[in-house]
């Protein structure tokens, strides 16, 4: 593949990743409560990070640097959901009530299910 094409691809990926980072941040502001905001932050955790790391990997070519970048991605994608889960679980047991749509069940019955044998 010619060099300029690689540059175009990696540039596009970096721009897309940056764009999704901004969208994730925007979601953090626009969504109404704690739980929905977690979803907005989820965009930044996943697609934004994936696009930026792959964009950088295209820049570095096939080298040790690429392996390091992919390791960074791996170490971003594995613990991020764990941290999100810790936050949401703490919020649930601390009694933060989610704003739910009218047609859905309330949190109470679900909480009973999840607190048994954990």
Partner 1 sequence: MRDTFFLSLLLAALWLAISGVYKPVILMLGGASLLLVVWLSLRMKIVGEEHNPTVFSWRLPLFWLWALVQIIQSNLHVARLVFSPQKISPRIVTVPVPMKSSLGKVVFGNTCTLTPGTVTIGLNREKLVAHALDRQSARALVSGQLAAKIVWLEGSTEKTQ
Cα separation, 37 vs 112, in Å, equals: 24
* Shortest Å distance, C-beta 1 to partner 1: 21
Residue 61 per-residue DSSP state? -
- How many residues contact partner 1, by CB under 8 A? 52
Enumerate residues 6+ apart whose C-beta is below 8 A from 61: none
115 is a contact residue toward partner 1 (CB under 8 A): yes
Q: Give least dist CB 22 to partner 1, A.
A: 10
**In this structure, what token pair is assigned to residue 30?**
């626009």
Does 61 engage in binding with partner 1 (CB under 8 A)? no
Nearest-approach distance from CB 5 to partner 1, in angstroms: 22
Residue 21 near partner 1 by CB under 8 A: no
d(CA 52, CA 113): 39
Task: Pick one of 62, 82, 94, 95: the residue that binds partner 1 (CB under 8 A).
Answer: 82
User: What tokens does 85 get?
Assistant: 């889960």
Which uninterrupted H or E stretch holds 117?
none
Task: Name the minimum Å distance from CB 118 to partner 1.
Answer: 5
Binding of partner 1 by 15 (CB under 8 A): no
């Amino acid at each position: 593949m010619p060099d300029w094409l690689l540059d175009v691809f990696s540039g596009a990926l970096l721009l897309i990743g940056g764009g999704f980072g901004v969208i994730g941040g925007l979601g953090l502001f626009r969504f109404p409560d704690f739980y929905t905001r977690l979803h907005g932050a989820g965009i930044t955790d996943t697609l934004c990070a994936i696009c930026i790391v792959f964009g950088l990997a295209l820049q570095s070519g096939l080298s040790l640097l690429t392996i390091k970048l992919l390791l960074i991605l791996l170490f971003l994608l594995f613990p991020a959901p764990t941290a999100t889960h810790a936050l949401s679980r703490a919020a649930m047991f601390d009694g933060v009530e989610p704003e739910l749509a009218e047609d859905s069940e309330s949190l109470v019955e679900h909480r009973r299910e999840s607190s048994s044998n954990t």
